[in-house]
Amino acid sequence: MNLLFAIDDRFVSQLETVLLSIHLNTKERDIDIYVLQKTPLNKEAELKAIADEFGMHYHRVLVDETLFDHAPVTDRYPTTIYYRLLAHQMLPESIHKILYLDADLLCINDLGQLYDTDLTGKLYASAIHASLTNTTDVINKIRLQNFSADGYYNSGVLLMNLDLIRETVKAEDIFDYIREHILLLPDQDVLNALYGDQIKSVPDQLFNFDTRNLATYATISFGEWTLDWVIKNTVILHYCGRDKPWLITMNHGRLTALYKQYFQMTKHIVNRVR
């Protein structure tokens, strides 16, 4: 299993927490961790020690900034928006499949259920976040002019078919699109606009559960996807939005409490392996 992350020093503790959650809840298999970073992480030795503790193999991937020599780069469009989209140009060609994960999530059941998704003929697999209406999807289809896509995919959990991506996803196509459009969420908008019809849809209630919307999930499932159902079945809890669980000090719900428990467990392990 190949896993991809893109962080700087502000998110080392969060990535370590993700790794602990994977270690505790995924059936035993060889796991390689690839971490895209602009400059070497100050806490790289600590991160590698945690990976070693969990039996995972850590790989540093320094971003090749020359890839963005012809990219539109501004304060609004920093080079970091291109990392996920052009990861295939920075990863070893011996890797054929990889799962990108944001650092603000937990894996609370076996991640292999998502990783083993068949990507034949598809560039990516991703999830469309649940909603009580399809208004947002309609607006995004009009805004991005990608009417053949199933909906608006969240790029925080993205399974990549690297062989097909290397043949299909070109840096200049991405740069040209960004030059010609005003985007709300640049990398996610580009993913949906250019490649939305080549993404395999996976259920978000299993593989990209937006923790802000527990009540929404319960409603659209007619009461089936309750907290107990989530703990038993959901693979990935994604703590989307600005209110990150490691920053919240007030009581903010059971899923926040669950994150804090993993975060605290990770601190104990870090103190032990240092």
pLDDT(2) > 80 = yes
pLDDT bucket at 138, cuts 50 / 70 / 90: very low
From the candidate CATH numbers 1.10.10.10, 3.90.550.10, 1.10.150.130, 3.40.720.10, the one assigned to the domain spanning 2-273: 3.90.550.10
Q: Residues 144-165: what's their mean pLDDT?
A: 81
Residues pairing with 105 in the sheet = 238
Q: Residues 60-69: what's their mean pLDDT?
A: 93
Model's pTM, two decimal places?
Answer: 0.92
Residues pairing with 135 in the sheet = none
Q: Residues 187-201: what's their mean pLDDT?
A: 94
Mean pLDDT of the chain, nearest integer: 91
Residue 115 CA, distance from chain mean position: 13
**CA separation for the pair 148, 196 (Å, rounded):** 8
So what's the pLDDT on residue 130? 76
Poorest-pLDDT segment among 79-88, 147-156, 188-197: 147-156
So what's the pLDDT on residue 150? 56
Return the ∠ at Cα 55 (arms to 210 and 11), rounded to 5°.
Answer: 45
User: Kind of pairing, strands 105-107 and 209-210?
Assistant: unpaired
Residue 178 Cα distances to 89, 117, 160, 213, angstroms: 19, 30, 22, 30
pLDDT(159) > 80 = yes
Other CB atoms closer than 10 Å to residue 112's CB: what's the count? 14
The upper half-sphere exposure of residue 128, i.e. CA atoms within 13 Å in the direction of its Cβ, equals: 19
- For tokens 């971490």, the residue is 35
Query: Is 181 strand, coil or helix?
Result: coil
Poorest-pLDDT segment among 52-61, 149-158, 172-181: 149-158
**CA separation for the pair 66, 52 (Å, rounded):** 32
Domain residue spans in the chain?
2-273
